[in-house]
Amino acid sequence: MKKKIAIIGSGIAGLTIANLFKANSNFEIMVYEKEKILSLEEGYGIQLAPNSISILNKIGFLNINNNNLFNPLVLNFYSGDDKKICNLDLSNFNSEKIKYTTLRRSTLIEFLKSNLFANNIRFGKEIKKVSKIKEKLLINFKDNTNDLVDYIVVSDGVFSNTKSVIENKNNNPSYSGSIAIRTLLQSTQDFIYEEKSISLIMLKNAHIVIYPVNKDRKLNIVTIIRQKLKTNIDARALIQKEILSQNKNLENLFKGNLESWPIYTSKKPSKSIYENLFYLGDAFYTFHPTMAQGASQSIEAAYELFNLLSKDSKAVQNLYFKKRLEKTKLINSRSKLNYFSFHLSNPLMVKARNFLLKKITKKEKFLNKYLGSIYKTI
């Protein structure tokens, strides 16, 4: 008999695992999404490293319209006064069909959705209660419907309300101490950075990441600023105070609409009280964005969980958790180091960082350890 899986949340994590299981006739999937429709608003751009592209290729990503993607070959580091410090060759991690990719989140969501049938997703669904009935899990939804399933995958994002309901305890993430401000820019002749690369501009207590999200010269700009948590963020005033005060030339980047949000990260990875319930993506662990691995890890974890469940391995919960914990620790340590070094203000420390960056970006052995261990394809 087919095993039934309920997937809670239709973000990158939920839709990826739904796509993987869809091709396996031993499973029946249903995605339950809280919202009334799939959010295809532009959203921010995302970077997908080879570790996630290799998995997406298994579900048809190579067929996506190439104009809606970009494959940056280089990451350029700049100091706050626009001086290029050095570059990192991203193409070292690429192979013929598996390339570091940047795109809009909506492009990825649309692709993942297009492979599913309309009857694989139900909208306006939120879990009220989960209870164990013999080997199965009974889900009661807030609209008084229910579903009896073999497995539940919870992928409802950073605030995971489902987790709080199921585990019956407070699992709130913590404020990371920084705010993200995002805008889109049509590249112009005035653009002073290399438009076909990823640019990372390091300032005092802030950094800016710029990259193309398609072949149409549309650039995604994300600025991360250290800041106390506020209920109302005036993004333009913040850019003026924390960024343009350091470098007036950056003004051209921020002429469009600015969107802002506080960044939250998880306190620890999540493991359920139920053997057959798994947390995936940001609901498992939300990273700080300085390694740009949140989406890639959601995809990688989806593939790991899919493989474990497909093989009907014993102790899936423990195997899945152990592997994820290792990866989470690895990325977390690098994210924290990046966050610290991108935001230095002491001129001596800045000088030392720039000197070190120039050295290590050319050291193959170091790069293979620092990035290669994360970008490694499955």
Ligand X SMILES: Cc1cc2nc3c(=O)[nH]c(=O)nc-3n(C[C@H](O)[C@H](O)[C@H](O)COP(=O)(O)OP(=O)(O)OC[C@H]3O[C@@H](n4cnc5c(N)ncnc54)[C@H](O)[C@@H]3O)c2cc1C
Closest CB to ligand X among residues 32, 320: 32
Q: Binding ligand X by CB under 6 A: which of 292, 301, 308, 309?
A: 292
Element (H or E) spanning 44, and its range?
A: none
- Residue 222 makes contact with ligand X by CB under 6 A: yes
Site for ligand X in 172-211 (CB under 6 A): 180
Stretch that binds ligand X, among 21-29, 242-250, 290-298, 313-321 (CB under 6 A): 290-298
- Of the pair 288, 350, the CB lying nearest ligand X is at 288
With residue 48 as reference, give the H or E element that holds it.
strand 45-48
From 82-90, 153-161, 239-247, 360-368, span contacting ligand X (CB under 6 A): 153-161
State the burial class of residue 184 (Cβ atoms within 10 Å of its Cβ: 0-12, 13-18, 19+): middle
Give exposure, 47-84, as e/b (b: 16+ Cβ within 10 Å). Answer: bbbbbbbbbbeebebeebeeebbbbbeebbbbbbeeee
374 counts as binding ligand X under rule CB under 6 A? no
Residue 374 phi, psi (nearest 5): -90, -40
The Cα–Cα gap between 304 and 299 comes to: 9
Per CB under 6 A, the list member of 3, 6, 7, 10 interacting with ligand X is: 10
Q: How far apart are CA 277 and CA 20, in angstroms?
A: 17
> Using the rule CB under 6 A, is 152 a contact of ligand X?
no
Q: Which of 5, 7, 18, 46 binds ligand X (CB under 6 A)?
A: 46
Determine the interface stretch with ligand X among 54-62, 191-199, 278-286, 363-371 (rule: CB under 6 A): 278-286
Note whether 227 binds ligand X by CB under 6 A: no
Alpha carbon separation from 283 to 83, 161, 269 (Å, rounded)? 39, 9, 9
- Does 225 bind ligand X (CB under 6 A)? Our answer is no
User: Of the two residues 41 and 312, which places its CB atom closer to ligand X in the complex?
Assistant: 41
> Residue 281 interacts with ligand X (CB under 6 A)?
yes
Separation between Cα atoms, residue 236 and residue 350, nearest integer Å = 27
> According to the binding rule CB under 6 A, does residue 32 interact with ligand X?
yes
Angstrom distance (rounded) from CA 296 to CA 103:
13
Closest residue to ligand X: CB criterion: 11
50 touches ligand X (CB under 6 A): no
Hey, how many other C-beta atoms are within 10 angstroms of the C-beta on 251? 12
What tokens were used for 181? Answer: 């401000």
Nearer to ligand X, 16 or 341 (CB): 16
By CB under 6 A, the count of residues binding ligand X is: 33
SS3 content of the chain, % helix, strand, coil (to 5): 40, 25, 35
10 Å CB burial of residue 369 (0-12, 13-18, 19+) is: exposed
What minimum distance in Å lies between the beta carbon of 9 and ligand X? 3
With binding defined as CB under 6 A, does residue 295 bind ligand X? yes
Binding site for ligand X (CB under 6 A): 8-14, 32-35, 44, 46-47, 126, 155-157, 161-162, 180, 222, 263, 281-283, 289, 292-296, 298
